[in-house]
Amino acid sequence: MEVIDRLKKKHSIDSNEEIVRKYVSSALQLQSDDLIFGSSREQCGGGCFSSEPQFEIDIAEDDFNKLKNVYQNYEFEEYDTEEEEISKTIRCIINFVDYEPEAISI
């Protein structure tokens, strides 16, 4: 949440959902999946999904499908639901923005 809060402040956006949606869309448009998702830092152990706090977002269908493809193309930990899988890919994007703040612009 600290990363999301910094991004909201940087872009003068109040909504967690809006900032995440914008960064997800921008990251997917880069078409540099290996750069974002191929890192060993994205291989987290159990309990990653249960991070707090959590919030729901509505994602465009096209972005949702791209995130599904990303999850299937990388050797991420298995999750019980499709929503958890998508959440993992979104967390990877947020982690990437935290480590490489200038790599993705919205």
Model pLDDT for residues 58-90, shown as the tens digit of each residue: 999 999 999 999 999 987 888 889 998 999 899
pLDDT of res. 51: 60
pLDDT of res. 74: 86
Q: What percent of the residues of the chain are helix, what percent strand, and what percent coil, each to the nearest 5?
A: 65, 0, 35
Q: Does residue 23 belong to any structural domain of this protein?
A: yes
Domain that holds residue 25: 2-38+49-99
pTM above 0.95, yes or no: no
How many domains are contained in the chain? Answer: 1
Is residue 17 within 8 A of residue 57, CB to CB? The reply is yes
Q: Does residue 104 belong to any structural domain of this protein?
A: no
Residue at token pair 């990653």: 48
Structure tokens at 97: 């923005």
Q: Does residue 77 belong to any structural domain of this protein?
A: yes
d(C-alpha 57, C-alpha 80), whole Å: 19
List C-alpha distances in Å: 38 to 10, 15, 33, 83: 27, 28, 7, 20
